[in-house]
C-alpha cells in the first residue's frame, strides 16, 4: 500500500511538472517577434563597444576582446548587409564608452582603458573618414554612462567614476562646449540604456551598488524636464497590478526604437525582449533573442530596423549580428 501511494504521488508530481513545462513552452510560443541572423561583424569578437547611426549606416567603435582594449571603427551597411573598416578612433582604445550622432557627425567619449576612467571626446566625420578631438567632457571621467541625441540636442549622463552617478551634460557642437543640465530625481546608476521616440528620450534599467534599478524616466529636451513613468518592476502586493509579471529589470542591456515603440534586449544573464508603448506607458514581452545569452552587446536602429550584436558571456566573446522583426512570427528555420 505504501509503495502504491508513492507511485501515485510520483505520477501526480511528474504530471504537474510536465504540465508546467508545457505551459511555459506554450507561453514562449505565444510571444511575437522573430530574429534573423545577419552578416557577422568583420572585426574581432568583443564586448562593451559603442555605436552611433548616421543615415543608412551604423558605426561600431572600440570595445574589449578579453585581452585588448580596441580603437577600431567599423561601419555596417544596412542595405547591403556588409561591414567595412574605417579610420581608427582618435583616442586610446577603450571599452564602455558613450556615443551619439548629431548633425551628420558621430561623437564618442568617456570609457575605460584598463587602467584609467576617461573623459576625452572625439568627433567622426564620415565624409572625410577622419576623427577630430573636441573639448573634454565637462563632468568627471567615467565609464558605463549613457549617450543620446534627441530633438537635436545631445547628452551624456549617469555612469561610474568610482561613485555611481546621475548627472547629465548637454553638448553644443557649434560652440564645442558642455553644459550641466537638469538631472532626474531617480537613483544613481551605471550600465543603463536609453532609447528615443518622437523627440523624447527614455532612460531605463541599470545597476546601483549591486541592485537593479526599477524606475523609468522620460526626458523632454524642449522643456529640459524628466518625468517618472511607471516602474518596470512591481511587487504583487502594491497598487500597480498592471505589471505584476514584468521582468524587465537588468543591467548591461541594449535598446533601440522602431515605429514609435521602444525595445530593451538582453543584459546580464538574460535574453528576454520587452517592447514599450509610450501612448499607454505599458510593456509587452516579445520573442527572446535567438542567439546566445550575452551582456555588454550593441543595439541600434537604422530606418526603423532594429539590430543587436556582439557582447560576451563569461570569457566567451561574440561577433554575430541579428535583426529583430517585431511583427513576424518566430521561426526556427530561418537562421
Residue 48 burial class via C-beta count within 10 angstroms: exposed 0-12, middle 13-18, buried 19 and up:
buried
The pLDDT of residue 30 is 85
- Which residues of the chain register pLDDT less than 50? 1-26, 236-237, 240
- Reading the block at residue 1, the C-alpha cell is 500500500
CA 246 – CA 232 distance, rounded (Å): 7
The pLDDT of residue 1 is 44
The pLDDT of residue 183 is 81
- Reading the block at residue 308, the C-alpha cell is 543587436
The pLDDT of residue 22 is 39
The pLDDT of residue 8 is 40
Residue 61 has phi, psi (to 5 degrees) of -125, 135
Q: Among residues 167, 283, 273, 274, which one has the least CA distance to residue 230?
A: 283
Q: Are 114 and 157 in contact (CB under 8 A)?
A: no
Q: Are 147 and 106 in contact (CB under 8 A)?
A: no
Domain map (residue ranges) of the chain: 45-325
Residue 210 has phi, psi (to 5 degrees) of 80, 0
The pLDDT of residue 28 is 59
Which pTM does this prediction carry? Answer: 0.89
Q: Collapse the DSSP code of 6 into the 3-class scheme (helix H, G, I; strand E, B; otherwise coil) and give the result.
A: helix
Q: What is the CATH number of domain 45-325?
A: 2.120.10.80
Q: Are 190 and 164 in contact (CB under 8 A)?
A: yes
From edge to edge, which strands make up the β-sheet containing 69-77? 50-54, 57-64, 69-77, 82-86
Amino acid at each position: 500500500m505504501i509503495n502504491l501511494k508513492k507511485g501515485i504521488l510520483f505520477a501526480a508530481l511528474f504530471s504537474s511538472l510536465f504540465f508546467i513545462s508545457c505551459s511555459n513552452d506554450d507561453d514562449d510560443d505565444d510571444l511575437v517577434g522573430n530574429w534573423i541572423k545577419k552578416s557577422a561583424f568583420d572585426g574581432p569578437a568583443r564586448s562593451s563597444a559603442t555605436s552611433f547611426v548616421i543615415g543608412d549606416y551604423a558605426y561600431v567603435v572600440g570595445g574589449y576582446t578579453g585581452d585588448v582594449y580596441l580603437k577600431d571603427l567599423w561601419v555596417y551597411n544596412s542595405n547591403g548587409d556588409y561591414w567595412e573598416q574605417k579610420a581608427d578612433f582618435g583616442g586610446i582604445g577603450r571599452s564602455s564608452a558613450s556615443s551619439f550622432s548629431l548633425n551628420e557627425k558621430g561623437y564618442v567619449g568617456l570609457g575605460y582603458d584598463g587602467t584609467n576612467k576617461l573623459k576625452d571626446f572625439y568627433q567622426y566625420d564620415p565624409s572625410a573618414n577622419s576623427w577630430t578631438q573636441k573639448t573634454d567632457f565637462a563632468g568627471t571621467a567615467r565609464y558605463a554612462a549613457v549617450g543620446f541625441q534627441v530633438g537635436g540636442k545631445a547628452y551624456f549622463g549617469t555612469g561610474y567614476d568610482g561613485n555611481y552617478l546621475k548627472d547629465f551634460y548637454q553638448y553644443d557642437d557649434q560652440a564645442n562646449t558642455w553644459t550641466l543640465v537638469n538631472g532626474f530625481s531617480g537613483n544613481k546608476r551605471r550600465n543603463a540604456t536609453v532609447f528615443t521616440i518622437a523627440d523624447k528620450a527614455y532612460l531605463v534599467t541599470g545597476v546601483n551598488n549591486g541592485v537593479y534599478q526599477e524606475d523609468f524616466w522620460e526626458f523632454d529636451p524642449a522643456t529640459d524636464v524628466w518625468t517618472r513613468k511607471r516602474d518596470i518592476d512591481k511587487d504583487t502586493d502594491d497598487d500597480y497590478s498592471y505589471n505584476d509579471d514584468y521582468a524587465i529589470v537588468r543591467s548591461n542591456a541594449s535598446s533601440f526604437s522602431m515605429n514609435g515603440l521602444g525595445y530593451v534586449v538582453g543584459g546580464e544573464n538574460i535574453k528576454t525582449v520587452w517592447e514599450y508603448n509610450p501612448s499607454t506607458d505599458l510593456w509587452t514581452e516579445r520573442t527572446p533573442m535567438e542567439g546566445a545569452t550575452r551582456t555588454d552587446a550593441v543595439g541600434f536602429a537604422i530606418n526603423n530596423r532594429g539590430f543587436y550584436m556582439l557582447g560576451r558571456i563569461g570569457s566567451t566573446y561574440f561577433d554575430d549580428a541579428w535583426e529583430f522583426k517585431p511583427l513576424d512570427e518566430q521561426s526556427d528555420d530561418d537562421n
